[in-house]
Amino acid sequence: MKVLITGGAGFIGSHVVDALIEKGHTVVVVDDLSTGKVEHVNPQARFYHLDIRSPELAEVFQQERPDLINHHAAHADVRRSVADPRYDADVNVLGSLNLLECARQHGVSKLIYASTGGAIYGEPVYLPCDENHPLNPICPYGVSKLTVERYLSYYGHAYGLQYTVLRYPNVYGPRQDPTGEGGVVAIFARRMLRGEQVVTNGSGEQERDFLYVADVVQANLLAQHHLDGQTYNLGTGVGTSINDLFAVLASKTGYAGEPFYGPPKPGETFKIYLDASKARQQLNWQPETKLDEGLSRTIRSFRNPT
């Protein structure tokens, strides 16, 4: 099978690319390298340095004729989405619509979409959030990802698109960018390894559902066989506070500094963790990597980058 993966030079997307190639699939990567890195692109993949909003995307479809799209490309910075919601919508909504139109026009009817479970539900009414939880995003990023979910439903109804939506929690692991606004594990780990001050935004009592990247990859592989128009949460169902994360990472890195607290950031949910029972029952998926082990692997990757 030939898979076109958008965002395939990025943190999560590049790991999915590696797994697809290992399974014997032909992989085409589209990435504008705004946050991805060309060195993360598997050399066995065919790479197009291209924005998903570009008219040239149609030429990639014309030339490659993929069987399946795996759509990971997105503007995923919550804080910038608050500061510049137009840009966020331009990339996430209009870019996705360009992709969907290319798929429709070139007869590609299968798609996996990487959505967000961390931002789409807003402040939870109950925890852990399942897929039936009310959708009340409190940041433009969450709004844009929900909008694309709605467009997928429309394309499924109108054009027969076979798709699956995977809603991600806070994913962490090797290749995560420690210089961006997102990715608290990568940011904390690198600063601790360098002996630099670590800043926690807000009280540190915020809770997140941390999922190791290899488990996300496995969900993507399983979803290829369940393009049923369904939405699946991924996650552990357990919230970990940022203060607890700081303590574990400090212990593993030998960091002796005290936590420093800055102001909370607008648009960020205070506590969120996800019920992934539906994925367990219908995709036969469950997380395999415990947080302690995943953090150890991530720290090793920063100590010994490849």
| Residue of 300, 2, 3, 48 lying closest to 175 (CA atoms) | 300
Q: Long-range pairs for 107-110 at CB < 8 Å and ≥24 separation?
A: 108/4, 108/61, 108/65, 108/66, 108/67, 108/68, 108/69, 109/159, 109/160, 109/161, 109/162, 110/67, 110/68, 110/69, 110/161, 110/162, 110/163, 110/227
The pLDDT value recorded for residue 304 is 81
Instruction: Determine the straight-line distance between the first and last CA of the chain, rounded to whole angstroms.
Output: 29
Mean pLDDT of 62-81: 94
Query: Does the pLDDT value for residue 250 go beyond 70?
Result: yes
Give per-residue pLDDT as tens, 167-199. Answer: 999 999 999 988 765 689 999 999 999 999 999
Q: Is residue 141 flagged as an active site residue?
A: yes
Give per-residue pLDDT as tens, 10-40. Answer: 999 999 999 999 999 999 999 999 999 999 9
Query: Does the pLDDT value for residue 89 go beyond 80?
Result: yes
The pLDDT value recorded for residue 306 is 61
The pLDDT value recorded for residue 180 is 67
| Residue of 57, 230, 229, 232 lying closest to 160 (CA atoms) | 229
| One-character DSSP codes across 200-234 | EESSS--EE-EEEHHHHHHHHHHHTT--SS-EEE-
Domains in the chain: boundaries:
2-171+212-236+275-282, 184-207+238-274+290-303
Residue 244's contacts (CB-CB under 8 Å, 6 or more residues apart) are none
pLDDT confidence bin for 76, thresholds 50/70/90: confident
pLDDT confidence bin for 144, thresholds 50/70/90: very high
The pLDDT value recorded for residue 88 is 96
pLDDT confidence bin for 77, thresholds 50/70/90: confident
Give φ, ψ of 4 to 5 degrees: -100, 120
Place of tokens 């990247």: 213
Thinking of the domain 2-171+212-236+275-282, which architecture would CATH place it in? Answer: 3-Layer(aba) Sandwich (3.40)
Thinking of the domain 184-207+238-274+290-303, which architecture would CATH place it in? Answer: Alpha-Beta Complex (3.90)
Mean pLDDT of the chain: 96
Give per-residue pLDDT as tens, 59-71. Answer: 999 999 999 999 9
Mean pLDDT of 118-123: 95
Among 97-106, 171-180, 203-212, 251-260, the range scoring the smallest mean pLDDT is 171-180
pLDDT confidence bin for 103, thresholds 50/70/90: very high
pLDDT confidence bin for 268, thresholds 50/70/90: confident
The pLDDT value recorded for residue 78 is 86
Residue 162's contacts (CB-CB under 8 Å, 6 or more residues apart) are 109, 110, 111, 156, 227, 228, 229
64-101: b or e for each residue (b if 16 or more CB lie within 10 Å)? bebebbbbbbbbbbbbbbbeebeebbebbbebbbbbbe
Query: Does the pLDDT value for residue 305 go beyond 80?
Result: no
CA 51 to chain centre: 18
% of the chain beyond a pLDDT of 70: 99
The pLDDT value recorded for residue 265 is 83
Choosing from 48, 113, 141, 155, which is the catalytic residue?
141
